[in-house]
Amino acid sequence: MIRLGALAVGLLFVVNVLWGAIAPREAVAPDMAKELHKHPKHMEWAHNGPGNLGVFGTFDRAQLQRGFQVYKEVCAACHSINRVAFRDLADLGYSEAQIKTIAGEYEVAAIDANGEPTTRKATGADKFPLVYANEAAARAAQNGANPPDLSLMTKARPDGTNYVYSLLTGYSDNVPKGWNKPDTLYYNPYFHSINIAMPPPLSADGQVSYSDGTPATVDQYAKDVSAFLTWTAEPKLENRKETGVAVILFLIIMTGLGYLSYRKVWADVKKA
């Protein structure tokens, strides 16, 4: 009885779903955006370690500082990194005094002695302030676009670090024939919808002047700021990998010892 019922239900579902498979359906217009869209370029990163494997590797402190400089001088005009606190900059190798100076360049909301809203200089304990008070303000100032917060950007996109680098270096004036690009947008095949509202932020070599002798090129800026945004998204990356190596070494030894005792315990059974 159960099997007869099952047979009936089974036939119902099978015929039903196969009917859907053969039923004619509307032709789907080919999506040109999908053809134009490119996957991020594969770059080598210090924090991915030897072979770019991601097992070992630490951040390149000098690169993070340069990336922070690029962020501050270019990206910060429109994009916040609101999940990062100034004190976190110690990870980049800045001293307490330097952090105080950097924080002092920003104003954050406060309440004065009379209870009136005011602003004060940021301290190490504050987060990087938002660029725009709210989304409406951002859209009003940015021609309808809303520049996203960049704190988590490299984790919020597939292959994020490479994605940020590719996007920053991926702008092109050669718009393919047949692709509709409004004048207010820019062509960038690494962006999911190809047309991006952000104008090319890194436009010319020498735009940011480095003090450590690193070549001041657009490519270098893009690399440095991508590394910096990897840190903002995953500040515990080094700690995580160090812990991982220790944990796995411990587990290998533990499992090895476990295996030896397993062999000993089972020795008499295997022979039986």
Partner 1 sequence: MSFPWAKQYQPTSAVGKWVDERLPLPRFIHGALGPGYPTPKNLNAFYNFGVLAGVALVIQIITGVVLAMHFAADTRVAFDSVEHIMRDVNGGWMIRYMHAVGASFFFGVVYIHIFRGLYYGSYKPPREVLWMLGLVIFLLMMATAFMGYVLVWGQMSFWGAQVITGLFSALPLVGTAIQTWLLGGFSPDNATLNRFFSLHYLLPFVIFGVIILHVWALHIPGSNNPTGVDVKSEADTVPFHPYYTAKDFVGLGVYLIVFSAFVFFMPNSLGEPDNYIPANPLSTPAHIVPEWYFWPFYAILRAFTADFLGVPAKLWGVLAMFASILLLFLLPWLDTSPVRSNNYRPLSRILFWVFVVVALLLGVCGGKPAEEPWVRLSQILTAYYFAHFLIILPIVSKLEKTKPLPGSISEAVLAKYGKGGGAPVAQPAE
Contact residues for partner 1 (CB under 8 A)?
A: 2-3, 6-7, 9-11, 13-14, 16-21, 23, 25, 28, 54-55, 83, 88, 148, 151-152, 155-158, 160, 192, 233, 235-236, 239-241, 243-245, 247-248, 251-252, 254-255, 258-259, 261-262, 265-266, 269-270, 272
* CA 74 – CA 207 distance, rounded (Å): 9
The residue among 110 and 253 lying less far from partner 1, judged by its C-beta, is: 253
Q: Minimum distance from CB of 23 to partner 1 (Å)?
A: 5
Using the minimum distance from each CB to partner 1, give the nearer residue, 22 or 113.
22
From the list 155, 97, 145, 107, the residue with the least C-alpha distance to 128 is 107
> How far is 151 from 33, CA to CA, in rounded Å?
27
State the minimum distance, in angstroms, from the CB of residue 233 to partner 1: 8
* Rounded Cα distance, 154 and 231, in Å: 9
Nearer to partner 1 by Cβ, of 4 and 97: the residue is 4
* Minimum gap (Å) between residue 189 Cβ and partner 1: 16
Neighbour-count burial of 59, counting CB atoms closer than 10 A to its CB (0-12 exposed, 13-18 middle, 19+ buried): buried
AA letter at 172: S
CB of 120 to partner 1, least distance (A): 22
d(CA 108, CA 225): 24
- Least gap, CB of 211 to partner 1 (angstroms): 29
Min separation Cβ 230 and partner 1, Å: 12
Q: Which DSSP letter does residue 46 get?
A: G
Nearer to partner 1, 177 or 271 (CB): 271
Q: Which is nearer to partner 1, 111 or 251 (CB)?
A: 251
User: Rounded to the nearest 5°, which phi and psi values hold at 261?
Assistant: -70, -35
| Shortest CB 6 distance to partner 1, Å | 4
Q: How far is the CB of 264 from partner 1 (least distance, A)?
A: 8
Q: Closest CB to partner 1 among 174 and 261?
A: 261
Output the DSSP codes for 53-119. Answer: -SSS----HHHHHHHHHHHHHTGGGT---TT-BGGGGGGGT--HHHHHHHHHTSEEEEE-TTS-EEE
Closer residue to partner 1, CB minimum distance, 195 or 207: 195
What pairs with residue 121 in β-bridges? 107
CB closer to partner 1, 160 vs 218? 160
Backbone angles phi, psi at 124, to 5 degrees: -55, -30
d(CA 38, CA 170): 9
